[in-house]
């Protein structure tokens, strides 16, 4: 675990902190040999040298973003973003975190 990522999560407000911690845990428990770095003012996750996701604390939500979201199956329309390949999902409360869909997306990437 990267200490800069840990510090970023610990500085988040209550509520957001729990979401960030859970997302970090989901990523590491779903995919093995994941590296995490603090880049571009946010935690970034990579596997085999390929960056695939980030988590970010915003004023009203937490986001988990994917760098190559074009291949992700999202029939519920949770993913947002106008970029060609990058998309993100906003999570406002820990109860809104859909762990199953995040795990599904991570598995689709690898």
Whether 17 has a pLDDT exceeding 90, the answer reads yes
Write out pLDDT tens, residues 49-95: 999 999 999 999 999 999 999 889 999 999 999 888 999 999 999 99
Whether 34 has a pLDDT exceeding 90, the answer reads yes
DSSP state of 75: T
> 3-109: which CATH topology?
3.90.1150
Contacts of 21 (CB under 8 A, 6+ apart): 9
Give the integer Cα–Cα distance in Å for 26 and 42. 17
DSSP state of 18: H
Phi, psi dihedral angles at 86 (to 5 degrees):
-90, 135
E strand or H helix that includes residue 57: strand 50-57
- Token pair recorded at residue 105: 């997306």
Is the model's pTM score more than 0.85?
yes
Q: Per-residue confidence at 1, pLDDT binned at 50, 70, 90?
A: confident
DSSP state of 93: S
How confident is the model at residue 54, as a pLDDT?
Answer: 98
């Amino acid at each position: 675990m990267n200490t800069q990522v840990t510090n970023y999560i610990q500085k988040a407000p209550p509520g957001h902190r729990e979401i960030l911690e859970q997302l970090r845990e989901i990523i590491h428990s779903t995919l093995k040999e994941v590296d995490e770095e603090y880049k571009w003012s946010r935690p970034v996750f990579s596997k085999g040298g390929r960056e695939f996701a980030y988590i970010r604390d915003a004023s009203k939500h937490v986001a988990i973003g994917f760098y190559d979201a074009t291949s992700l199956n999202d029939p519920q329309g949770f993913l947002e973003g106008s970029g060609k390949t990058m998309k993100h999902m906003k999570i406002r409360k820990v109860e809104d975190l859909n762990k199953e869909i995040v795990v599904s997306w991570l598995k689709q990437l690898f």
